[in-house]
Amino acid sequence: MKRLWNFRWWKASLIGTVTIGAMFGGYIVYLQASGNFHAVIADQLYRSAQPSPEQLASYVRSHGIETVINLRGMHVGKKWYADEIATARGLGVQHIDFEMSPSKVLSPERAEQLLAIMRAAPKPILLHCQSGADRTGLVSVLYSQQVAGINEDVAERQLSVYYGHIAIPYLSGTYAMDRSWKGLERYFGIQG
């Protein structure tokens, strides 16, 4: 009888794990299919995955976006980049490239450069990287906490699985974004 119970327990555990994994995977697919677009602070800052020209035009029309900050950096010769530049220009939107790597820690000096850009940029701003989860998450935390003065605990929610950010120390290349924020907390004198 104990063996039968043990088998049922393992079977139920396996089914539960697969179900949770499938649901989480489905959520990640949904985020990407929907463009992972979210308001960080309405009328100030929005975030997304790499927008198509149609998505960018829609965001500009529906939210009055005045500045796009591309966290992927310049990619001259790439179709997505040329389309983004042309769409922004056609819509009269300022376009700023700021290259970051999701697998490299953002230094305090680079964070200060980015904060200066965001403070000076016409609002609302649309931030994006490739998936809208990691680089965009870190920069959303920075803006929320350092520019908008939002409570640290609330600001940190921008760098979470809700937006598709998965950070597993030493196993996930994107853990550098979490390490960046920990270092920036010390730099800015935030009680983390």
How many angstroms separate the CA atoms of 47 and 36, rounded? 8
Residue 60's pLDDT band, with cuts at 50, 70 and 90, is very high
For 61-85, what is each residue's pLDDT tens digit?
A: 999 999 999 999 999 999 999 999 9
Each residue's pLDDT tens digit, 83-142: 999 999 999 999 999 999 999 999 999 999 999 999 999 999 999 999 999 999 999 999
Residue with tokens 């996930």: 172
Q: Is 42 exposed, middle or buried (0-12, 13-18, 19+ CB in 10 A)?
A: exposed
Tell me the C-alpha distance between 40 and 56, whole Å. Answer: 17
Show Cβ contacts of residue 141 under 8 Å, excluding neighbours closer than 6 positions: 155, 156, 158, 159, 181
* Whole-structure pTM value: 0.82
